[in-house]
Amino acid sequence: MPQGRLWLNDFDQNIIEEKENQNPYIFSKEMRNLLGEIESGNNYSKVNSEGGGFGALGKYQIRRDGFRDMGYIDQNNQWIGKNNIYSNQDYLNNNQAQEKALDDFMQEKYKQLKNNGSYQYLNYHIKGIVDDFDVTDTGLLAASHREGAGAVHNYLSHLEKDQKGHYHINYDKIQDPKMQAMFKRIETRLRRFAK
């Protein structure tokens, strides 16, 4: 055996390759349960028609634009049969399809966050209103699930650094009450999903 080289058996090598190939947009069971609890009380048949129109569907409360981005519905808001889903009711009745849709949704959000520069803030330590937290993959994804990738980037681009090197949002400088409220919702998601 050559000096300085760690030899791995096939099993160990497979584990390493699996970890290297893990997708940051795949939520753990714990994160899925937390997101589902927040969105619907983990109710796969939940429909939220707030805001009118299509509403938000299922355990993870995905809206029309999300389904369109993932290729589940067309530009006319018609289901196209992806993963055998042809209607709202098909979706609501199929727990496995909802879990797959969350993966698809988070993959889309991951791409959007990468493309808009939000991932440059990964591992930033933020002094939040409620508590301090680090920006994580799951936090970014959960926040973009709630408010959209563009809003998350907007929040992150408003971070200021204090004299101790901590990042924070100076809410006193944000005059728009709707933006303040949105930023607080984003911060809450970033903090709650910072694992």
Determine which helix (DSSP H) or strand (DSSP E) holds 186, and give its type and residue range: helix 177-192
Instruction: Indicate if 98 and 128 belong to the same structural domain.
Output: no
Instruction: Indicate if 67 and 125 belong to the same structural domain.
Output: no
pLDDT at 1: 38
Residue 92: name the closest of 50, 57, 53 by CA: 57
* Cβ neighbour number for residue 173 with a 10 Å cutoff: 9
Residue 162 belongs to some domain of the structure? yes
Instruction: Indicate if 67 and 96 belong to the same structural domain.
Output: yes
Give 27-83 pLDDT, tens digit per residue.
Answer: 888 999 999 999 999 999 999 987 666 789 999 999 999 999 999 999 999 999 999
Residue 22 belongs to some domain of the structure? no
Residue 11 belongs to some domain of the structure? no
Instruction: Indicate if 131 and 190 belong to the same structural domain.
Output: yes
Range of the domain at 85: 27-104
Instruction: Indicate if 123 and 100 belong to the same structural domain.
Output: no
pLDDT at 62: 95
Residue 19 belongs to some domain of the structure? no
Residue finishing a domain among 104, 125, 158:
104
Residue finishing a domain among 73, 104, 135:
104
pLDDT at 5: 37
**How does pLDDT run along the chain (195 residues), one tens digit per residue?**
344 333 334 443 443 334 334 566 678 889 999 999 999 999 999 999 876 667 899 999 999 999 999 999 999 999 999 999 999 999 999 999 999 999 999 999 999 999 999 999 999 999 999 999 999 999 999 999 999 999 999 999 999 998 888 899 999 999 999 999 999 999 999 999 997
136: left (phi over 0), alpha (psi -120 to 50) or beta: beta
pLDDT at 140: 97
- CB 61 within 8 Å of CB 40: yes
Instruction: Indicate if 69 and 134 belong to the same structural domain.
Output: no
pLDDT at 8: 39
Instruction: Indicate if 125 and 83 belong to the same structural domain.
Output: no
- List for the chain the helix, strand, coil content (%; round to 5): 55, 10, 40
Instruction: Indicate if 83 and 137 belong to the same structural domain.
Output: no
Q: How many domains does the chain have?
A: 2
Dist. CA 160–CA 157, nearest whole Å = 8
pLDDT at 19: 37
Instruction: Indicate if 100 and 122 belong to the same structural domain.
Output: no
Residue 5 belongs to some domain of the structure? no
Residue 10 belongs to some domain of the structure? no
What share of the chain in percent tops pLDDT 90? 78
Instruction: Indicate if 96 and 152 belong to the same structural domain.
Output: no
Residue 155 belongs to some domain of the structure? yes
pLDDT at 52: 60
